[in-house]
Amino acid sequence: MSVHELPPLVGAEARPSVAARIGIGGPVGSGKTALIEALIPVLQKRGIDFAVVTNDLVTKEDAERLRRSGLIDPARVSAVEAGACPHTVIREDPTLNIAAGDDLEAKFPGLELILFESGGDNLASTFSLDLVDWWIFVIDVAGGDDIPRKKGPGVLKCDLLVVNKVDLAPHVGVALEPMLAEAQRVRAGKPVIATNARSGLGVDAIADAISSAVLFRA
């Protein structure tokens, strides 16, 4: 077979694009969309040209919420309906998400960054590196301080672990510092950031992490 007859590359290597693609996964209701809502003005202030792809089971709820928010040009938000199994479309067969990202890049040629929010899933959900270059896993304090200890693949394998809803710690009987220390321990030094997506606490640190990991900005 000559080089001209080789089958086309799939996934990341096939992308003609330049936009970095990052994933945001985590259990149902941990605050993934809230985090995106908090990140949008921070990324805009930094002059980053970005778009968002959301995933829901059988609706476009999160995309509609972002489009209505007034925070972002609605054309920059795409929705994937994941069907029964949210992790399938971010891991086993990310074709729909890759296509949604490609469409956004075609529409916005200067795009630097695409955020892919997974549908809420369990602690085992992870992203295919055919889809994303780097990914965040969002857990929340109200889910219980034993979540890091359970060492789910999402918690262990993500590039950045976000522990959200820190404001709720006193209300749900969670000792925040030991929870964060345990998260750091199980991740063997990979980063952990504590956030309150409603107040914006920790969101600048996430933007810094994204910038240095995939945009090669200080």
Ligand X SMILES: Nc1nc2c(ncn2[C@@H]2O[C@H](COP(=O)(O)OP(=O)(O)OP(=O)(O)O)[C@@H](O)[C@H]2O)c(=O)[nH]1
Using Cβ positions, the residue closest to Mg ion within the complex turns out to be 33
From ligand X, Mg ion, none, which one binds at residue 168 (CB under 5 to 8 Å depending on kind)?
ligand X
The reply to whether 40 sits near ligand X by the rule CB under 6 A is no
We find the least distance from the C-beta atom of residue 149 to ligand X, in angstroms, to be 21
**Which of 19, 21, 25, 32 forms a contact with ligand X (CB under 6 A)?**
32
The reply to whether 33 sits near Mg ion by the rule CB under 5 A is yes
Q: Single out the residue of 89, 88, 32 nearest to residue 61, CA to CA.
A: 32
Stretch that binds ligand X, among 11-19, 127-135, 152-160, 194-202 (CB under 6 A): 194-202
List C-alpha distances in Å: 150 to 22, 89, 145: 24, 24, 10
**Which of 19, 20, 21, 33 forms a contact with ligand X (CB under 6 A)?**
33
Q: Rounded to an integer, what is the distance from CA 161 to the centroid of its chain?
A: 10
Query: Is the backbone of residue 85 left (phi > 0), alpha (psi -120 to 50) or beta?
Result: beta
The reply to whether 140 sits near Mg ion by the rule CB under 5 A is no
We find the least distance from the C-beta atom of residue 14 to ligand X, in angstroms, to be 29
The reply to whether 32 sits near Mg ion by the rule CB under 5 A is yes
Q: What are phi and psi of 28, to 5 degrees?
A: -55, 130
List C-alpha distances in Å: 159 to 40, 61, 189, 195, 214: 20, 27, 11, 16, 11
Q: What are phi and psi of 34, to 5 degrees?
A: -60, -40
Six token digits for residue 104: 């956004």
The reply to whether 67 sits near ligand X by the rule CB under 6 A is no
**Which of 81, 167, 182, 208 forms a contact with ligand X (CB under 6 A)?**
167
We find the least distance from the C-beta atom of residue 96 to ligand X, in angstroms, to be 17
**Which of 19, 48, 62, 76 forms a contact with Mg ion (CB under 5 A)?**
62
